[in-house]
Amino acid sequence: MPTDQTDYSPIFEPIKIGNVEIKNRIAMAPMNMNYTDPGGRPSRQQLAYYAARAKGGTGLIVVEAVLATKAPWASTYEKYDNLSIARGKEIRSMANLAEHIHAFGAKVFVQLAVSPGRQGSAEGSGIQPHAPSAVAWEVQPHKLPRGFEPQAIFRALGYQGEIPTTPEGILELAKKIPGAHLGGELPREITVDEIQELVRDIGQSALHSRIAGYDGVEIHAPHGYLMHSFFSERSNRRSDQYGGSFENRIRMLMECIRSIRAKVGPDYTVGVRISASEDLPGGFDPHFTARIAKRCEEEGASFIHLSDGSYEAMNDFLPDKDGQVVEKAAIIKQGLGIPLICPSVHSPKSVAKALREGKADMISQGRQQIADPDWVNKVSEGRTGDIVRCTRCNLGCIGRFMLGLPGKCDLNPMVGQEEFMDEYMKRTYAPVKTRVWQTMQEIGVEPSVPMPGEL
């Protein structure tokens, strides 16, 4: 029986992002769970995993960072085997993922990623990471999230020696232990020609995404990865057209938006995910991000999706506190005319409050959606007391991911097993309006034969 009488109506108001109507204000944030099949193809487990969250009532699914370039030197994250949509041959398997999620009731965007930048590694690829400048990243030990204690990481990776206690000692030891990922390798400076190759590739990958039936795309530019590192004076020391001034530091992102728009047209939904801040000496703050967000809108972006921090400040990237990014989101939303999505609010009351106060237009959840895929349905039915609350322990999801293992959840034994559950694999049959049919309608051409399902 429903027990919670709180007014959660703001959560269930539909919202339009670009031309996409979304039934409620909850999105699933993109999180790689190491479920991808070899070759960057979606696995049965991936299909079922996303289906569980769609069936649980989530309005929008954003599919985890999908490789949007064919450049081999951009794939320096091979240990984590991202999905890919950069090649035409990948369209059909990615289309199957989009159709599966749609069959369970959610809209779906695909997040397009061109490179981890200086946060990549030669560990799996043998290729030196690249970045705006030859500046390695170093985690700030006081910025490590729960579950990432260096001692535990070193022991899990087989190190049996003495573990230092000073930040300097921890970072020095991390450089000697493969897979510790507490400090980066020295990257090489990416060339202008290589930047332009990535810009061209992301445009083509957006077209592939549209053909595959995704409702929109999201440019991956947060968390210290390549595009983020162009924004920051901590990592960008270039003196050419991609460094120095504000416009130069955001140039690659603006070029990516233009490249995508040139391929998919003005009406397709195109968004950008960026970190709200860096919260480190010499790093940018929410006021700087607000300027980026406004420029994205001016270039034709349909929405902004926030995250926070980077590998150097991981407890911003993986917040320890509920609603940690909300006040930053409020700053960035001021003067913005497109929807803003704020991450990591788990409490239903806090979600409703942030939406009601206009600090965000949608809320995205990552770890909470892993812990309980039925979060939205339970709130809708007044069963908030039944929600499996994420404790932000980071052990089954992030901890296993960092070790190269498939994601699990200490609170939800179903995670990683969804493919064996018929309720998430069996989907209804329905007529599919293909991209060709939809495009004909968009340009005002009347189909000469009946639509599928009307024969």
Residues annotated catalytic, as ranges: 225
- Chain position carrying tokens 């293992």: 405
**C-alpha 109: how far from chain center:** 10
Q: How far apart are CA 259 and CA 86, in angstroms?
A: 14
Residue 453 CA neighbour count, 13 Å, CB half = 7
Q: Which two tokens stand for residue 353?
A: 């409050």
Directed axis angle between helix 251-264 and helix 286-299, to 10°? Answer: 30
Distance separating the N- and C-terminal Cα atoms of the chain: 45
Q: How far apart are CA 411 and CA 396, in angstroms?
A: 9
Q: Which helix (H) or strand (E) holds 292?
A: helix 286-299
Q: How far apart are CA 292 and CA 232, in angstroms?
A: 12
Q: How far apart are CA 18 and CA 302, in angstroms?
A: 5
Residues ≥6 apart with Cβ < 8 Å to 327: 359
**C-alpha 207: how far from chain center:** 19
Please calculate the CA angle 446-449-452 and round it to the nearest 5 degrees.
105
Q: What is the DSSP string of 5-50?
A: ----GGGGS-EEETTEEESSSEEEPP---S-PBTTTBPPHHHHHHH
Q: How far apart are CA 139 and CA 167, in angstroms?
A: 9
Decide: 271 and 302 in contact? Cβ < 8 Å. Answer: yes
Decide: 243 and 236 in contact? Cβ < 8 Å. Answer: yes
